Structures are given as structure tokens and as C-alpha cells.
Amino acid sequence: MVVSNRRKLMRRGVVAKVAKITKAAVFVFCVGLGVAGCTLDGRPRASAPVPATPRGKSPPPTALPMPPMVTAEQVGAASYGWTLLDGHRTNLADYRGQVVVLDFYATWCPPCREQVPHLIALQDRYGRQGLNIIGLNVGGEDDRPEVPGFVKEMGIRYALGDPEREFADLFLSDNTSIPQTYVFNREGQLVKRFIGYDNSMPAQLESVIRSALASNTE
């Protein structure tokens, strides 16, 4: 019995070590290849800058159009939303008259982490002009407890929240690669969708934000 129990414990120890090594290897693989995004199951996405899209469509690199199933009107009218870290529930309608950037991320996703400093800089630069960047965690239940530490580690100064499942599904149903970044103008209309991250994205995102901030509500 003692020998049997020892063998079981040894096997568990080996399995635990393999799991840790595998997770670390995936992280290093993502960073090493400079992939543009990760999938929600924790696997690195292919190194190509443009993710595969359904029904054989060929969108341009990085900045992709909103999927046909989700229109700006549908998003603006949706009653779903997210809960901020302070416990306050909100949705897109609460930000009408301001420019909103929704960034779907996970703390374990290397490209998501790489994007954070740029989002911080944008919020600092344009916040007084009406920009609201909101990071929405879609890393799973195990990832939510990691968010407070993530905020401290990265020095995040923009809002973070936990999206309702229906809200996340609305945006990620056609492609689960992250990060995904959506820009809404002052009228609550979607003006740009970015899937993944590469070196060209910061400049593109800032350009879209500047254009959206320049628009006026009637």
C-alpha cells in the first residue's frame, strides 16, 4: 500500500510538472515567434498576421471589418454589457457622446500584453478629449483572479471589466483570436475592428481614434 501510494504521488508530481512545462513552452513559443494573437484555449495562433476567417473571405491585414452578423445598430441597442473592477455594471449606451475602445484580452496572452503599453499611452494622451479604453477579460474563470495583479504589473490606467457572456459572444463568435480591439465613435457606431496585434497596429489604432474624436454628435 505504501509503495502504491508513493507511485501515485510520483505520477501526480510528474503530471503537474509536465503541465507547468507545457504552459511555459506555449508562452515562450508565442513570444519567440512574435505571433499576432492567441486563441481562447491558450494555444498560440498561427504566426501569419491575418487569422483565418469563415466562408473563405480574405480581409485586409490587421484591421478587419465587423462580421455581417453584428451591425453597429445591433451593438448600440444591445442590453448586454460588462462589470467594471469596482463592481459597477455598464454598457456601450452609457458612453454615448464619447469614443470607446473595447479591447478583449487575457493576462496569459503575450500579444495582449504587448499591446497594453500602447493602450495606456493612448488613454493618457486622449482621455481628456473623450476617449475611454476598456479592457475586457475573456481569459476564462481561472484568469479573472489574475487581473488585479496584471493591473499592478503592467501599470494599467484605463478601465478593465468582466464582460457578460452574451456580450463577449456578440463580438467573438466568428473569430476567437485575441487580442481583439473595437473602436466606436461618439454616435456609438463601430468604425474599426482589429484582430490580433502587430507593429503596424498602434499607428493605425491612433489614427482611427483621432478621426473618431474629431466627429461631433448632433
Instruction: Judge whether 82 and 167 are in contact, CB under 8 Å.
Output: yes
**DSSP per residue, 101-142:** EEEEE-TT-HHHHHHHHHHHHHHHHHGGGTEEEEEEE-S-TT
Q: Which pLDDT belongs to residue 78?
A: 63
The overall average pLDDT reported for the chain is 77
The per-residue pLDDT for range 54-96, each reduced to its tens digit, is 333 333 334 444 444 344 455 544 678 999 999 999 999 999 8
DSSP alpha helices (H): ranges in 34-103? Answer: 72-77
Q: Which pLDDT belongs to residue 31?
A: 42
pTM to 2 decimals? 0.72
The per-residue pLDDT for range 153-193, each reduced to its tens digit, is 999 999 999 999 999 998 998 999 999 999 999 998 999 99
The per-residue pLDDT for range 6-53, each reduced to its tens digit, is 444 344 443 333 333 334 433 433 444 344 678 776 555 543 333 333
Domain 36-214 CATH superfamily: Glutaredoxin (3.40.30.10)
